[in-house]
Amino acid sequence: MTKKELQHLFESFSSKRIAVVGDVMLDKYIFGKVERISPEAPVPVIDVSSQSFRLGGAANVAANIRSIGATALLFGVVGDDDDGAILASRLNGDGLSADFLVTEHSRPTTAKTRVIAQNHHIVRIDSETRKPISSATERAMFELLAEHVTSLDAIIFEDYNKGVLTTSLIKKILALAQKHRVPVTVDPKKDNFFEYKRATVFKPNLKEISDALGRKFSNTDADATLACQMLQKKIKAENIVLTRSEKGMTIYNGEAEHIPSLALEVADVSGAGDTVIATLTVGMTAGLDALTAAKLANVAAGVVCAEVGAVAVDKAKLFSACLNYFAKQPLTS
Residue of 81, 211, 274, 289 with catalytic role: 274
The pTM for the full model equals 0.91
Identify the residue with better confidence: 272 or 79: 79
Q: What size, in residues, is the chain?
A: 333
Task: Reply yes or no on domain 3-34+51-325 having CATH 3.50.50.60.
Answer: no
Residue 268 has what pLDDT?
Answer: 42
Q: Give pLDDT tens digits for 227-277.
A: 999 999 999 999 999 999 888 899 999 999 999 987 545 444 456 889 999
State the Cα–Cα distance between residues 72 and 156, nearest whole angstrom: 10
Q: Give pLDDT tens digits for 151-164.
A: 999 999 999 999 99
> Is residue 194 predicted with pLDDT exceeding 50?
yes
Side chain identity at residue 24, one-letter code: V
Residue 330 has what pLDDT?
Answer: 56
Residue 311 has what pLDDT?
Answer: 74
Report the chain's mean pLDDT, rounded to a whole number. Answer: 92
Q: Give pLDDT tens digits for 47-68.
A: 999 999 999 999 999 999 999 9
- Collapsing DSSP to helix, strand or coil, 18 comes out as strand
What's the whole-number mean pLDDT along residues 88-94?
Answer: 95
What's the whole-number mean pLDDT along residues 98-122?
Answer: 94
Residue 266 has what pLDDT?
Answer: 43
Q: Give pLDDT tens digits for 107-118.
A: 999 999 999 998
Catalytic site includes residue 274: yes
> Is residue 328 predicted with pLDDT exceeding 60?
no
Residue 267 has what pLDDT?
Answer: 41
Query: Taking the CA atoms of the chain, what radius of gyration do you get in angstroms?
Result: 20
Percentage of the residues of the chain whose pLDDT score is greater than 90: 84
β strands within the chain, DSSP E: 17-22, 24-37, 44-57, 71-78, 101-103, 111-117, 120-127, 154-158, 184-187, 201-202, 239-243, 249-252, 256-259
Residue 324 has what pLDDT?
Answer: 87
What's the whole-number mean pLDDT along residues 90-118?
Answer: 95
Cβ atoms of 103 and 80 within 8 Å: the answer is yes
What's the whole-number mean pLDDT along residues 300-328?
Answer: 82
Cβ atoms of 171 and 142 within 8 Å: the answer is no
The lowest-confidence range among 201-210, 274-283, 319-328 is 319-328
Cα 156-212-312 angle, rounded to 5 deg: 35
Q: What is the separation of C-alpha 112 from the centre of its chain, rounded to a whole number of angstroms?
A: 16
Residues in CB range of 218: below 8 A, 6 or more apart: none
Q: Which of the four pLDDT bands, split at 50, 70 and 90, describes residue 220?
A: very high
Q: For residue 1, with 0-12 CB atoms within 10 Å meaning exposed, 13-18 middle and 19 or more buried, which class applies?
A: buried
> Is residue 1 predicted with pLDDT exceeding 90?
no
Residue 302 has what pLDDT?
Answer: 86
Percentage of the residues of the chain whose pLDDT score is greater than 70: 94
